[in-house]
Amino acid sequence: MKKNLRVKKSGILFLLPAALLLITLCITSCSKKSDTTGTSYIQFTNAAEAASPMDFYVGNKKENDASLTYNQSTSYFQVSSVSQSATIKSTASGATLASITINPQNNAYYSVFYIDGSTIAYQDDLTAPQSGKAKVRFINLNEGLAGTTDFTVSGGTKIASALSQFVASDYYQVDSGTTFSANTTGDTTSLISIPTTIQAGHIYTIYLSGINAGTLKATVLLQK
């Protein structure tokens, strides 16, 4: 399972692999900035059920073409691989919903989600799936589910086990058209069925959102 970095309202969102996070926090803050600036890639998603439509800015540049409503995402956009400010703003009022600092690795890809006052980031693995397969990972962003969550291939084969809230699974190789369900760990009752149109050669993140179990929603996010 992959860890993440989550910040509330404002703060530093270091977009780094979990294994390097603690080390790099020190290196980034204590060492001189590199003279070499590369390019990184971010996909931003509004996963906040109660939030109004929003926009994502890096510096003063708005990165989305149209305002993002609940469970809408940008395509990947390019950013410089340097420490820089990013803000999430209400489209209607221009009010700042979150203000963060990003410091992405050169040539790395990230998924950034906004969830009702928090911003959370994951590094993406966009290496191609095996021939004839798709790649998929799972994240539980629902704020009201009790315990951990399992994801199961329709028909009963468990694929991702005991995911804590906001923790991403590994990527799994699956067949085209595979569908899934989610259930609370230790309980075989399905919380939600997840139909998909997954196609071979593509990469997906399936995430759960909502403010409680009653508003649970599953979204299939195409990454590549």
Helix (H, G, I), strand (E, B) or coil at 97: strand
Please give the span between the terminal C-alpha atoms of the chain, in angstroms, as a whole number.
21
Q: How far apart are CA 210 and CA 93, in angstroms?
A: 23
pLDDT at residue 36 in the model? 63
pLDDT at residue 89 in the model? 93
pLDDT at residue 132 in the model? 93
Q: Are 167 and 123 in contact (CB under 8 A)?
A: no
pLDDT at residue 145 in the model? 84
What is the 8-class DSSP label of residue 169?
Answer: P
Domains of the chain: 5-124 (2.60.40), 134-222 (2.60.40)
Helix (H, G, I), strand (E, B) or coil at 26: helix
What is the 8-class DSSP label of residue 151?
Answer: E
Q: How far apart are CA 35 and CA 190, in angstroms?
A: 52
Q: How far apart are CA 176 and CA 168, in angstroms?
A: 21
pLDDT per residue over 52-98, tens digit each? 899 999 999 999 999 999 999 999 999 999 899 999 999 999 999 98
pLDDT at residue 173 in the model? 94
What is the 8-class DSSP label of residue 215?
Answer: G
pLDDT at residue 5 in the model? 45
Low-confidence ranges of the chain (pLDDT < 70): 1-36
Q: Give per-residue burial for 10-45: e unless 16+ CB within 10 Å, then b.
A: eeebbbbeeeeeeeeeeeeeeeeeeeeeeebbbbbb
pLDDT at residue 12 in the model? 43
